[in-house]
Amino acid sequence: MADKKMVEAITARDVDFAQWYTDVVKKAELVDYSSVKGCMILRPNGYAIWENIMHELDRRFKETGVENVAMPLFIPESLLQKEKDHVEGFAPEVAWVTQGGTEKLEEKLCVRPTSETLFCDLYSRIIQSHRDLPKLYNQWCSVVRWEKTTRPFLRTTEFWWQEGHTAHATEEEAEERTIQMLNVYADFCEEMLAIPVIKGKKTDKEKFAGAKSTYTIESLMHDGKALQSGTSHNFGDGFARAFGIQYSDKENKLQYVHQTSWGMSTRIIGAIIMVHGDDDGLVLPPRIAPVQVMVIPIAQHKEGVLEKAAEIAGALKAAGIRTRIDDSDKNPGWKFSEQEIRGIPLRVEIGPKDIEAGRAVLVRRDTREKREVAIESAAAEAAVMMEQMQADMLERAKAHLAAHISEARTYDEFKDAVANKPGFVKAMWCGDLECEMKIKEDTTATSRCMPFEQEQISPVCVCCGKPARKLVYWGKAY
C-alpha cells in the first residue's frame, strides 16, 4: 500500500501537465522554495544533476580553448548604460542595490542579469594588440532577473548558468565561434541528455538585446511546447564601439574587436524532466544521472544479503558506474518507488533466493524491463543496459519531435495547427515584424527559429501572402 500511495502523489501528465511538473520537481527532491519569492533552493538531487551538466559542458568548452574566469556580482549603472539596446532589453528585469550598510550609494549598482558589460569593461583594458586575441572566457555563476511569474528551473528570479564571452579580430572568426558553441550545446543535448534539438537563427524581434544575431537550440517538451535550451550570440562590433575595445592590427592600425556570447542554464534540467519524465516521476538519461544504479537488497535482515549487495555495488563502482545501496529499513516496494521518482536509470534487486541461484535482477527505469543476470556479470550487464537505455531514450524523443511537427501553407491551416496540434508548426514568413506580431497576437505562438536547414514549403508568407523569405518554426513556448 505504501509504495502505491507514493506514486499517487504525482498528478498524471495527461490530467494536468503543469501540476505533474511541479509534483515531480518536489517529490524527486530536486528543489525547494525559498523565503524569497521566485528564488529556488537547489537540493542535493537537483544540484547533482547540475554538477554533471557543468562538468561535461566545462570539459567540452575547454577542448575549444575556453578559459574560466569569475566576474563581480554588481554592475555600476553607468557601465550598464553604455550599450543602449542592451540596457533597454534588460531594464524591466533588473534588480538594483541603492544602499551599502547605512550609506546611500552615490551610484546605484545592478545585480548582474548577464555580464556583457563587465566583460567589455575588462576587455577594453586588457586587449591592445592583435596578439592579445582571441580572448575565450567563460564564467559559471548565478544571475538575477526580476520575473513576474516563476516556475522551478524554467523561470526563476535567480538562476545558475554559464556565460561565455569571447573577443576576436575579425567578423568571420566571431561568427565561426558563435556557430561552434551552438553546436557544442546541440551535441551535448543529444549525446548526454538524449534530447534532440532544432538549430537555427532567431528573428530580429526574438534576438538578444544588443546582438547582431542570435542562434538557438529549441527542444520540444512532452506537452508539445518548445523550450529554448541554449543560445549563442554574435555581437559584431557593437559592444566594442560602445566600450572602446580596440586592438592594433598587423599593420599597426586600430580596429574594433568582434564579440560573441553564449549560455546554457539550469533551465535545461526542466527540459530533462519534461522530455523524459513519466507518471511515476523523473527518468534520467544514464550519462547525466548522478546515481546510475541503485542496489536494493530484498529481505536484507537475512544472513548474507547486505554483504552480497555490497559486493555487487563494489563491482559496479569498480566498473566506473555511479552506484548506491539503499540499505534503509523501508520496505522494498517503497525503495522501488523512491528510485523511480528520482529517475535512477537502473536498479539491481538481490535477495536470498537470488543469491541461492547465483543471480541478480536488473530493472530499467524507462521501460521496466527486467533481466536476470549472473551475479559476477552484473556490472558488465548494467553497463550494456544503460547504453541501450540512453540510445532508446534519444530515439523516443526524436520520434516524439518528428510526430509533433506540422506544416501550414495558409493562415487558416496555421491557426488550426497551433490550436489543435501541439508541437512546432513549419510555415513560410515574409520577414516583416508586423506579420510576426500578428501571429503572436492571433495564436500566442512565437517564432522559435529560422532553421539552418531551410526548405520552401510555399512561395508566400503564411500570414500576409507576400513573397516568403524564410521558413520558420513557430510554437508555444515556456
Residue indicated by cell numbers 554559464: 162
Same domain, 127 and 192: yes
For residue 178, pLDDT over 90 is answered with yes
Task: Give dist(CA 473, CA 426) in Å, integer.
Answer: 5
Asked if 379 and 417 sit in the same domain, the reply is: no
Which residue type is seen at 28?
A
Residues 218 and 299 in one domain: no
User: How high is the pLDDT of residue 209?
Assistant: 86
Strands (E), 172-308: 198-201, 213-220, 226-236, 246-248, 254-256, 258-265, 293-297
Q: Which of 385, 416, 432 is the last residue of a domain?
A: 385
C-alpha cell of residue 127: 586587449
b/e 209-240 (16+ beta carbons within 10 angstroms → b):
bbbbbbbbbbbbbbbebbbbbbbbbbbbbbbb
**CATH number of the domain that 248 lies in?**
3.30.930.10
Taking the C-alpha atoms of residue 77 and residue 96, their distance in angstroms, rounded to an integer, is 9
pLDDT of residue 471 exceeding 60: yes
Domain shared by 332 and 413, yes or no: no
Q: Residue 138: its pLDDT value, please? A: 98
- Residue 27 backbone dihedrals phi, psi, to 5 degrees: -70, -30
Is residue 14, in this structure, part of any structural domain at all? no
Same domain, 233 and 138: yes
In a domain, 3, yes or no: no
Q: Phi/psi of residue 475, each to 5°? A: 180, 165
Cβ burial of 468 (10 Å; 0-12, 13-18, 19+) is: buried
Cell numbers that stand for 278 in this block = 513519466
Instruction: Tell me: do 271 and 298 sit in the same domain.
Output: no
- Whether residue 393 lies inside any domain: the answer is no
Q: Which helix (H) or strand (E) holds 284?
A: none
Domain boundary among 321, 352, 385: 385
Tell me whether residue 55 is exposed, middle or buried, using C-beta atoms within 10 angstroms of its C-beta: 0 to 12, 13 to 18, 19 or more: exposed
Domain assignment present for 285: no
CATH of residue 467's domain is 3.30.110.30
Looking at the structure of the chain, the number of domains it has is: 3
CA distance 40 to 99: 25
Given a cut of 90, whether residue 75 has pLDDT beyond it is: yes
Could you give the residue ranges of the DSSP H alpha helices within 199-304?
Answer: 238-243, 267-276
pLDDT of residue 8: 60
* Residue 247 cell numbers, joined: 586592438
Q: Does 8 map to a domain?
A: no
pLDDT at 223 over 50: yes
First to last CA, the chain: 36
The torsion angles phi and psi of 332, rounded to 5 degrees, stand at: -55, -40
Contact 260, 165 (CB under 8 A): yes
Domain boundary among 248, 276, 304: 276
- How distant, in Å, are the alpha carbons of 118, 409, 462, 465, 473 from that of 412? 47, 9, 9, 12, 17
Condensed to tens digits (0 to 9), the pLDDT of residues 318-335 reads 999 999 999 999 999 999
Regarding whether 418 and 351 lie in a shared domain, the answer is: no
Per-residue pLDDT band for 244 (boundaries 50, 70, 90) equals very high
> Is residue 27 classed as helix, strand or coil in its secondary structure?
helix
**pLDDT value, residue 430:** 97
pLDDT score of 127: 98
The three cell numbers locating residue 219: 527542444
> Are 48 and 190 part of one and the same domain?
yes
Expressed as residue numbers, the domain containing 428 is 405-475
Does residue 245 contact residue 257 with C-beta atoms inside 8 Å?
yes
* DSSP symbol at 132: G
In whole angstroms, give the CA distance from residue 303 to residue 355: 11
Residue 133 and residue 200 share a domain: yes
Q: What digits encode the pLDDT tens for the residues 76-123? A: 999 988 877 777 777 788 999 999 999 999 999 999 999 999 999 999
Question: Per the domain annotation, does 456 fall within a domain?
Answer: yes
Report yes or no on 261 lying in a domain.
yes
Average pLDDT over residues 259-268: 98
Q: How far, in Å, CA of 61 to CA of 187, rounded?
A: 12
Q: How confident is the model over 252-272, as a mean pLDDT?
A: 98
Residue 144 and residue 238 in one domain = yes
Let me know whether 37 and 138 are in one domain: yes
- Indicate which CATH number applies to the domain containing 320: 3.40.50.800
CB-CB contact of 184 with 65 (8 Å): no
Percent of residues, the chain, with pLDDT higher than 70: 98
Give the per-residue pLDDT at 2.
Answer: 42
In a domain, 40, yes or no: yes
* Residue whose cell numbers read 554538477: 51
Residues 242, 164: one domain? yes
Rounded mean pLDDT of the chain? 95
